[in-house]
Structure 1
Amino acid sequence: MQRPTESLAATLAALAHAWDSGDVNSMTDAGLLSVNEKLSAMRRQLDGLHMRVAAEISSRSRPELGKEGLARKTGHRSPAKLIAAATGGHTGDAHRLIHVGEASRERTLLSGQSAPAQRPHVAASVSRGLISVCAAAAIVAMLNRIAMRVSATLRDEAERVITTQATRLTLDELNAVLRRAEAHLDPDGLEPAVTELHGERSVKIRHDASGMILIDARLDPESGAPVVAAIEGIVTQQLRTSRGHNQRGMAAEGAPAHGASEGQAESGAIAEETRSLAQLRADALSALCAHGLGCDRSELPLATTTVVVRIAVEALESGSGVATIDGIEQPIDAATARRMAANGEIIPCVLGTDSEVLDWGRAKRNFTRSQRLALVERDGGCAFCHLPPQFTEAHHLKWWSRDGGTTNLDNGILLCTACHHRMHDEGWKIRIERPPKVHPTAGTVWFVPPPHIDPGRTPRIGGRRRFDPQLWKLSA
């Protein structure tokens, strides 16, 4: 096996040959690309050597050595500080070198016997210059997170597969792969992670000295998916319109483009897009908010914009497993996916074996505006906690796709987001009672608590009927 220093020497020799005269400006395209490849390989190999050095520095600076530790003897508080001082970089980068180096070096057990590296596949790839230290650190961190819940055999196979795949990925792409890999390797750890993300959601609004309004949003996958879908839907439509205009151009000087009327050509109704992507998104957010405040503008291209949740049929039925949201890198647990799938505005894609599509939700399943007004008349707002209607969404009691539920008033209910979570997470049951030949707005909503909340599971009345004592008595 070639030693790391020998591999580095070979790369240096190849780089010297490819450099030609050393004049970058006079290089051919092929020569420039060759030098870039050689420099990248050399950098990865140097980092591989550096991580081994960093791990040894850390070993010689162990806390139990006290003042005799290498870092302390050279006037540094920690090995990371020592390395950062030498590189002129961040201590975080030095910590990364140390952690990857420690996971990639051979170990000595308490018995004094030697043991292979904790992450042998990562060690081999970094030493050969196939992956960067940043990529190696991301892989090691993911494997460490699942170490207590996944068998050693499965972890080793995952490390081998992911390390091989990492040679063809950018760091951003690798991080997306690692998120999904972790979700599938440790599905039991996904739900608490998604719940934690949901608890950390926030939007901060402030004004700076120049008068700009600064909005800083941190949204979990469930909360952020509709936001991303709506904004990107508008931006995509605007870019498509602008691109089509640019491609058509003018058929002849002074003549309108094919497919454009003379009025459009004269008025410039379809103008060339000059806004940046960030500006397009800002304008899309503003348009959405204006529309939500009651603006009667109808040009927002959202009719074909949907949030698609993909989930295996086994996970949908059992409530245990992993699901993904189109356009969102972070996977979600099956319970969150089931809750989202119950939303009339989220489209579920249910997959069987070999990713065969078993069922697609359809846009027609959404409650109409008239149906929502009727639900408001019956429920008054959130049927459980009574928040005003503007804070609620219409949900299917029997899921439209999974249970064959219909989009009618007997199968609909208004719930706020918090109560929607509570119904699904805690196991509440909901039923609508309506005497025959009575308008659906006269129906009564009942909430049946789970046994751990009420062992007797006594139904609790909801909606507007909760405030009518006579109807409460009659229904009870």
Structure 2
Amino acid sequence: MSSPIDPLADAVTALSAVWPDASVEGCEPGRLVELNRLLGQARRLLDAAAVRVAAEVARQSRPELGASSLAKQQGHRNATTMLATTLGTSTSEAARLVEVGEATAPRLLLTGEAVPARHRYVAAAVEAGRIGRDAAVAIIHLLDSLDDRVAFDVLDEAERTLVEQAVGLDLLLLRKVLLRAEAHLDPDGVEPKEEDLRARTFLSVRQESTGAIAVKGLFDPARGAVLLNLIQAMVTAELGEQRDEGTKGNGLPPRPIPEMQADALIAVCEHYTGCDRVDESLPGATVIVRVNLEDLQSGTGVGLIDGIDQPVSIGTVRRMAASGGVIPWVMGGDSEILDWGRAKRLFTPAQKRAITARDGGCIGCGAPPGRSKVHHLSWWCHGGKTDLDNGCLLCDSCHHLVHDHGWEIRVDGPGTDAAVWLIPPPHIDPARVPRPAARRRFDYRPAA
């Protein structure tokens, strides 16, 4: 029978075989990529070993053992302080190791019978090095928070789905998936959560002794989306101007993003107080809410605001629609042409709204619409048309990544329901297997 430490030993051996003889500095790109991959695998497998040990240290140090507790015998107050001291980490990180270990370790009944781990799919993924400790903690926290409101078999299937989707996602992107999974699994819990966020909403504007004006605030998703999307769109526009100036050789050093955001907020206030026209140069500032027609009519389910991770209740969607905050996605009506061919170089506002409805944000990294722009898939200068299926949302970084490194984009299907795919270059994936674009990648996708 193989030891759980064997995969870690194999990963370290593979890492040693690839490690440069001299120095990592100046390492050729291909080897550096492989080193990074193997380090990630080894780190996750080390997490797997650490959580198993941490769970056993906690078991042998449980409070009821008193002075015979392992931790006390080693001169520590409890298991977490023992682990934190010996591992050189914080007690909170040690507690997370224990938490994952206890949730993923096989259990023994009073009869001595062994039963599967409390979270078997997380356990298998951690042991195989597919996800690390922090991803495991995030999934466990969500599932445990729903334990008293969602049926066991539903949570069990959700755990399997979430583990599959967590592979290859960083924690920020995993958080998006978890928020949407929570709304899907417990839609009745979305509105109370919104009420709590609305109750915590505040904006503090005060003058300090220096004469400076200090602003601090917290907003619920529905109202905060208006502010977030507008300011992000304005900052993105300024960054684009700076980049254009830089290509001409007369650009200034870029300003810090917080400074741009402050100026954007001031510009909005000045616009409101002194300007009576609507500036249409910031299409990404539009707040877009996605909801199924059936859910809207029945009053069940949830809605999604582009650029905001937290889903909102149907009640909030209806209130936003009543206040004019929702654009109806019946595209192509009112004589709005969505395909212009070569008649126009720039995408029209109607096309931009349709593409935003389809993509939800940057198709590469998931950046919200306010930080993204519509780009031609087949370049205009190469004969590309200004049509719906030849446009996509990309932030500046992903735009350069796609065009400079050989990525391709494919749009399958018509209109706003089309599926968008990113096709990696051969040096990243020789098979060039299409990858779902960000919106579908981050959406929670329960099994049918």
TM-score, normalising length: structure 1: 0.65
Q: For 2:280 and 2:57, how far apart are their aligned partners in 1?
A: 59
Residues 231, 285 of structure 2: 8 Å contact kept: no
2:132 is the counterpart of 1:152: no
**2:367 is matched with which residue?**
none
Q: For 1:360 and 1:70, how far apart are their aligned partners in 2?
A: 70
Larger Rg: 1
Q: For 1:208 and 1:311, how far apart are their aligned partners in 2?
A: 44
Partner SS, residue 291 of structure 2: strand
Q: For 1:210 and 1:11, how far apart are their aligned partners in 2?
A: 57
**2:217 is matched with which residue?**
217
TM-superposed CA distance for 1:139, in Å, is 0.6
**1:424 is matched with which residue?**
none
Partner SS, residue 324 of structure 1: strand
Residues 309, 349 of structure 1: 8 Å contact kept: no
TM-superposed CA distance for 1:272, in Å, is 5.4
**1:66 is matched with which residue?**
66
Partner SS, residue 329 of structure 1: coil
Residues 4, 128 of structure 1: 8 Å contact kept: no
Residue 305 of structure 2, aligned match among 325, 339, 344:
325
Q: 1:17 to 1:279 in 2, by over 3 A?
A: same
Read off the aligned partner of 2:201 and give its amino acid letter. Answer: R
**1:309 is matched with which residue?**
289
For residues 32-76 of structure 1, give each alpha carbon's deviation from its aligned partner in whole angstroms, at most 9, with x where no partner exists: 222222222111111110001111111112222222222233333
TM-superposed CA distance for 1:2, in Å, is 5.0
Q: 1:272 to 1:56 in 2, by over 3 A?
A: same
Q: For 1:46 and 1:361, how far apart are their aligned partners in 2?
A: 57
Q: For 2:209 and 2:89, how far apart are their aligned partners in 1?
A: 33
Q: For 1:71 and 1:218, how far apart are their aligned partners in 2?
A: 42
- RMSD of aligned Cα (Å): 2.8
Q: For 2:328 and 2:66, how far apart are their aligned partners in 1?
A: 59
- RCO higher in structure (CA 8 A, sep ≥6): 2
Q: 1:282 to 1:82 in 2, by over 3 A?
A: same
Q: 1:38 to 1:304 in 2, by over 3 A?
A: closer
**1:118 is matched with which residue?**
118
Residues 319, 335 of structure 1: 8 Å contact kept: yes
Q: 1:75 to 1:208 in 2, by over 3 A?
A: farther
Q: 1:194 to 1:47 in 2, by over 3 A?
A: same
* Residue pairs, 1:8-27, within 5 angstroms: 8-27=8-27
**2:231 is matched with which residue?**
231
Q: For 2:100 and 2:332, how far apart are their aligned partners in 1?
A: 44
TM-superposed CA distance for 1:215, in Å, is 2.4
TM-superposed CA distance for 1:233, in Å, is 2.3
Q: For 1:302 and 1:35, how far apart are their aligned partners in 2?
A: 42
Residues 19, 35 of structure 2: 8 Å contact kept: yes
Read off the aligned partner of 2:21 and give its amino acid letter. Answer: S
Unmatched tracts of structure 2, length 5 or more: 335-448
Partner SS, residue 117 of structure 2: coil
For residues 317-344 of structure 1, give each alpha carbon's deviation from its aligned partner in whole angstroms, at most 9, with x where no partner exists: 1212111001101111111111111112
Residue 276 of structure 1, aligned match among 256, 267, 277:
256
Residues 311, 349 of structure 1: 8 Å contact kept: no
Residues 131, 167 of structure 1: 8 Å contact kept: yes
Count of matched residue pairs:
335
For residues 186-234 of structure 1, give each alpha carbon's deviation from its aligned partner in whole angstroms, at most 9, with x where no partner exists: 1111111121111112223456677654422221101201101221222
TM-score, normalising length: structure 2: 0.68
Q: For 1:29 and 1:196, how far apart are their aligned partners in 2?
A: 49
Residue 291 of structure 1, aligned match among 247, 267, 271:
271
Residues 11, 42 of structure 1: 8 Å contact kept: yes
Read off the aligned partner of 2:88 and give its amino acid letter. Answer: G
For residues 380-419 of structure 1, give each alpha carbon's deviation from its aligned partner in whole angstroms, at most 9, with x where no partner exists: xxxxxxxxxxxxxxxxxxxxxxxxxxxxxxxxxxxxxxxx
Q: For 1:313 and 1:322, how far apart are their aligned partners in 2?
A: 11
TM-superposed CA distance for 1:278, in Å, is 2.2
Q: 1:317 to 1:280 in 2, by over 3 A?
A: same
Which has the higher mean CA deviation after the structures are superposed, 198-207 or 26-35?
A: 198-207
2:327 is the counterpart of 1:347: yes
Read off the aligned partner of 1:84 and give its amino acid letter. Answer: A
**2:139 is matched with which residue?**
139
2:64 is the counterpart of 1:84: no
Read off the aligned partner of 1:314 and give its amino acid letter. Answer: E
* Residue pairs, 1:96-107, within 5 angstroms: 96-107=96-107
**1:257 is matched with which residue?**
none
For residues 2-57 of structure 1, give each alpha carbon's deviation from its aligned partner in whole angstroms, at most 9, with x where no partner exists: 53211111111111110131411242122222222222211111111000111111
Q: For 2:329 and 2:213, how far apart are their aligned partners in 1?
A: 38
**2:314 is matched with which residue?**
334
Read off the aligned partner of 2:27 and give its amino acid letter. Answer: M
* Residue pairs, 1:435-474, within 5 angstroms: none
TM-superposed CA distance for 1:143, in Å, is 0.7
Q: For 1:85 and 1:172, how far apart are their aligned partners in 2?
A: 29
Read off the aligned partner of 2:310 and give its amino acid letter. Answer: Q
Q: For 1:211 and 1:42, how far apart are their aligned partners in 2?
A: 53
TM-superposed CA distance for 1:106, in Å, is 0.8
Q: 1:340 to 1:20 in 2, by over 3 A?
A: same
Q: For 2:107 and 2:208, how far apart are their aligned partners in 1?
A: 53
TM-superposed CA distance for 1:315, in Å, is 1.4
Residues 309, 337 of structure 1: 8 Å contact kept: yes
Q: For 1:20 and 1:321, how far apart are their aligned partners in 2?
A: 54
Q: For 1:46 and 1:229, how far apart are their aligned partners in 2?
A: 40
Q: 1:300 to 1:7 in 2, by over 3 A?
A: same
Q: For 1:332 and 1:295, how far apart are their aligned partners in 2?
A: 32
Unmatched tracts of structure 1, length 5 or more: 251-270, 351-358, 363-476
2:4 is the counterpart of 1:4: yes
Q: For 2:268 and 2:16, how far apart are their aligned partners in 1?
A: 57
**1:267 is matched with which residue?**
none
Q: For 1:54 and 1:360, how far apart are their aligned partners in 2?
A: 59
TM-superposed CA distance for 1:152, in Å, is 1.7
Q: For 1:232 and 1:139, how far apart are their aligned partners in 2?
A: 30
Residues 226, 287 of structure 2: 8 Å contact kept: yes
Residues 233, 301 of structure 1: 8 Å contact kept: no
Residues 349, 361 of structure 1: 8 Å contact kept: no
Residues 234, 301 of structure 1: 8 Å contact kept: no
Partner SS, residue 344 of structure 1: coil
